[in-house]
Amino acid sequence: MVTPFRGGEVDYEAMGAQIEWQIKQGTPVISPVGTTGESPTLSHEEHERIIAFVVERVAGRVKVMPGTGSNATAEALRLTKFAKRTGADAALVVAPYYNRPSQEGIYRHYAALAESGDIPIVLYNVPGRTGRNVDAATVERLARFAPIVAVKEASGQLDQVSELIARTDLTILSGDDTLILPMMAVGASGVISVVANLVPTDVMALITAIQQCRLADAQAIHRRLFPLCKDLMGIAPNPIPIKMALNLVGRGNGEMRLPLCEADSSGTLALRNALQQYGLVS
């Protein structure tokens, strides 16, 4: 879920409206303060307040899985414990970023979180942002910790997905909207989605079609979603395009925090064209 801002401050009224809209659409899990939620530009106090706000507003109607990762193990542990105390159902924990730890360092980071809390943990592997891949062998070691239940896999490597499925019993979730179909074809279970901020019912329809082995239907939904998903990831780094898209369809104001800013005119035109082709704007 994106984090809406107004005048530089978190817009909790708009956030509440987003939550209600997602619940009405049938979204089963809401994941705030992740990459799409601009967590790197939130203060610690804002990060915690958003987690508490979402849990309270959802009020048990769907699951809540906030992002609680950090490049500092102590900070990730503090946020994960806070999410547990607040009533979140799980924690999405990105691999340590910027400091580029070894595989042993990554293992010890996640092990410290798993040993210190009893909230389900979803590992988040996104080497394009963190600078380090979480290798399948490392995930296999971590799978022995009961709180670690799933992996959000955003390496873009299908071989890694296949290796994770072969080496662990963890739930594997796509971290790339364009790869939902191929990843589920080799054994992933679903997606933690960006485009679902716009069209959650279409994303859920794709997952259902794959689960029900309706390949032709799944391929048709994939073909329809693919251009929109590609542009949402391609014209500028996430969450710039999704915030601009929500503004264009009348469900947000597009405000971001520096250093993020709107795409240039060619990117804006490409995004508008993608939304028009999908039927989201006239």
Give the catalytic positions in this structure.
Answer: 124, 152
Q: Work out the burial of residue 122: count CB atoms within 10 Å of its CB; fewer than 13 is exposed, 13-18 middle, 19 or more buried.
A: buried
CB 232 within 8 A of CB 263: no
Residue type present at position 33: V
- Pairing state between β 9-10 and 5-6: antiparallel
Query: Is-contact 207 191, C-beta < 8 A?
Result: yes
Q: Work out the angle at residue 223's Cα, subtended by the Cα atoms of residues 128 and 236, and round it to the nearest 5 degrees.
A: 35
- Are 246 and 198 spatial neighbours (Cβ–Cβ below 8 Å)? yes
